[in-house]
Structure 1
Amino acid sequence: ILYIISVFLSLTLKVNGWCYRSQFSCQDTCRGEDKHSKWKNNFPNCGGQRQSPINIITRKVKHDPKLTSFIFDGHENLVYHNLRTLSHFTLPQSVRLRGGGLPATYKAVQFHLHWGENGGQGSEHSVDGECYPMELHIVHIKEKYGSLGDALNDSTGVAALAFFFEVLIPFSEIEDFKLTDIIPQANKLNYYRYLGSLTTPGCDQAVVWTVFQQTLPISKKQLLFGTEKPMTGVFRPVQNLNGRVVYTSVPAHNLCVLPNLITLFLCLFCVFGQQRCFH
């Protein structure tokens, strides 16, 4: 299902002169983000203080009451069945996104996917160190801007929605990949919010990120690419948080109930255990 996309990305990255860590080799002249941080050397913004993606540490997130439900206008018309043509990357700018604590109304630009290999790590963001096989990004820009390039000059000019995908167990066949199946659910999902950047060069620090907490199902078959091996491992490693705060739409008491109960039971166990020893 993603083979055509992977071929397209291979050509695009070659033209732009940069590549992912998985593509870097001693024989390749592309500028990969390996342990020597070549993205930063060639694209200064990639070494900035609010880079994406990040690892979200749930015990450190803070509740923000302004993170309410989103209002999706026109997303119900986004019926992209299987992503077999390249034009499916582009979204009509008549589609609007507002609410959710965003500072303005945003219009749709495009969507894209990041994936790994054989169902392994493929997501860019992670939660408490846990990665997922695939991550979807739906990109919007403030409606007052005419292009993504214009929006990148604004520190909150871009709003990106990130969805994690998880392979169904037991396996279930999902024939089509439809944004109309995803967007309606988003209004019911809890999410994280932080300020970050594009995850590809030039890594412009202009993105308001929304990372949805609940995963979406995908079949194992949808992560298989056929006999000819395409590009895999198209994700950027997590970046330093550098003091940024990650917020959540979930009230603090909902986050703390389970840990508090566990702590209470542990304390009672210790107390009764000590009393038994003394007797």
Structure 2
Amino acid sequence: MKLILSVIWLASLWSLCTGGGDWCYPSQFTCNHQCNVPEKWDHANRDCAGKYQSPINIVTRKTLKDDLLTPFEFKNYQQIFRSSIKNNGHSVQVNIPHLSTISGGGLFTSYKAVQLHLHWGNNGGPGSEHTIDGEQFPMEMHIVHMKSHYSDLTTALRDPEGIAVLGFFYERSNSANRKYDPVISALRSIKATNGNTSMPPLSLAQLILSERNMTSYYRYKGSLTTPGCTESVVWTVFEKPIPLSQDQLSAFSEVQFNDGKHMIGNFRPVQPLNGRQVFRSGSTVMMSSFSLLLAMVAMAMGLSKPN
């Protein structure tokens, strides 16, 4: 009931206040800060009303196995690099030297990493952009790549498959993920919009899953999840989440929007699939079947125990 009343209140607020020219998330909107919420992003950029938008809800039973979705080949993901982390007013972003590349995984060419950013909820609450069978995770990271022969994102975005984004979910863990200490520590220095600080040396490999845990993933064609919403993205969404502690997840909610409000709920709601097919890697099915087998064995053992 509270959720319904909240939605009604927001709808009435949006109708009373005239949206401004810039785009924003619902947690930013007030009559004093009039902006285009996700439902009106097409007012900021008409491409946001496109037919093949992201993110989406991945319905696992409707996915189609694709044998071409083999394990990725990660090159220079282990390489240590120096960079900075920035509060860009909508997320936190780390620029990546164009040295790390991905290939394989059903991609028809290699793509080089450009930047990574994250989307989250409120103090570890639901905040991922993609959902799996309706489940929303606390946070989601996007590592943005462009085709290796391009020199800038603007050019790559003109190519219908110019961008490849790797999406990683996060889950709440009982212990801190020490590999994330450099990122979490840096957040304190970039609370304000346009805050920028140097990062300790790190590698992409330390921020993601081990390669053996990245063979299960989903693939579909979609768009950027912020304006201009360009439909030039080959999406890969990994099944297994990355663990972070509650304190680590909550640290992201201390970052601020440009009006000084806490940056929470900076995710776009899921978009209509509009007839697109979502594919899954072969190992996704194998893992699901194996998990089902384990559950059945555990159930059988429980039933066989004497009273």
SS in 2 for 1:234: coil
Q: Which residue of 1 is the match for residue 304 of structure 2? A: none
- Distance in 2, matches of 1:97 and 1:107, equals 6
Shift of 1:122: 1.0
| 2:222 counterpart of 1:192 | no
Q: Which residue of 1 is the match for residue 268 of structure 2? A: 236
Asked if the contact 1:75–1:183 (Cα under 8 Å) also holds between the matched residues in 2, the reply is no
Q: Which residue of 1 is the match for residue 164 of structure 2? A: 159
Shift of 1:180: 2.4
Asked if the contact 2:93–2:117 (Cα under 8 Å) also holds between the matched residues in 1, the reply is no
Q: Which moved more, 1:85-94 or 1:123-132?
A: 85-94
Match of 2:25 among 13, 20, 27: 20
Shift of 1:148: 0.6
Q: Which moved more, 1:226-235 or 1:138-147?
A: 226-235
| 2:243 counterpart of 1:217 | yes
Q: Which residue of 2 is the match for residue 91 of structure 1? A: 96
What stretches of structure 2 of length at least 5 have no aligned partner? Answer: 1-20, 184-201, 297-307
Alignment of 1:1-279 (within 5 A): 17-33=22-38, 37-78=39-80, 83=85, 89-168=94-173, 170-172=174-176, 174=178, 176=181, 177=183, 179-183=204-208, 185-189=210-214, 190-225=216-251, 230-250=262-282, 254=286, 255=288
TM-score, length basis structure 1: 0.78
1:229-249 deviations in Å (ceiling 9; x for gaps):
631111100000001010011
- Distance in 2, matches of 1:81 and 1:209, equals 25
SS in 2 for 1:27: coil
SS in 2 for 1:205: coil
Q: How well do the aligned residues superpose, as a CA RMSD in angstroms? A: 3.0
- Distance in 1, matches of 2:266 and 2:76, equals 29
Q: Which residue of 1 is the match for residue 305 of structure 2? A: none
Q: How many residues align?
A: 245
SS in 2 for 1:110: strand
Amino acid at match of 2:54: S
Asked if the contact 2:176–2:248 (Cα under 8 Å) also holds between the matched residues in 1, the reply is no
SS in 2 for 1:39: helix
Distance 1:195 1:233, change over 3 A: same
Distance 1:258 1:220, change over 3 A: closer
Asked if the contact 1:200–1:236 (Cα under 8 Å) also holds between the matched residues in 2, the reply is yes
- Distance in 2, matches of 1:96 and 1:213, equals 21
Amino acid at match of 1:75: Y
SS in 2 for 1:18: coil
Q: Which residue of 1 is the match for residue 6 of structure 2? A: none
Asked if the contact 2:113–2:145 (Cα under 8 Å) also holds between the matched residues in 1, the reply is yes
SS in 1 for 2:170: strand
Q: Which moved more, 1:40-49 or 1:146-155?
A: 40-49
Asked if the contact 1:98–1:106 (Cα under 8 Å) also holds between the matched residues in 2, the reply is yes
Shift of 1:18: 1.4
SS in 2 for 1:77: coil
SS in 2 for 1:75: coil
SS in 2 for 1:150: helix
Q: Which moved more, 1:228-237 or 1:145-154?
A: 228-237
Asked if the contact 1:173–1:221 (Cα under 8 Å) also holds between the matched residues in 2, the reply is no
Q: Percent identity between the aligned chains?
A: 45
Distance 1:84 1:220, change over 3 A: farther
TM-score, length basis structure 2: 0.71
Shift of 1:172: 3.8
Distance 1:43 1:258, change over 3 A: same
SS in 1 for 2:102: strand
Amino acid at match of 1:60: K
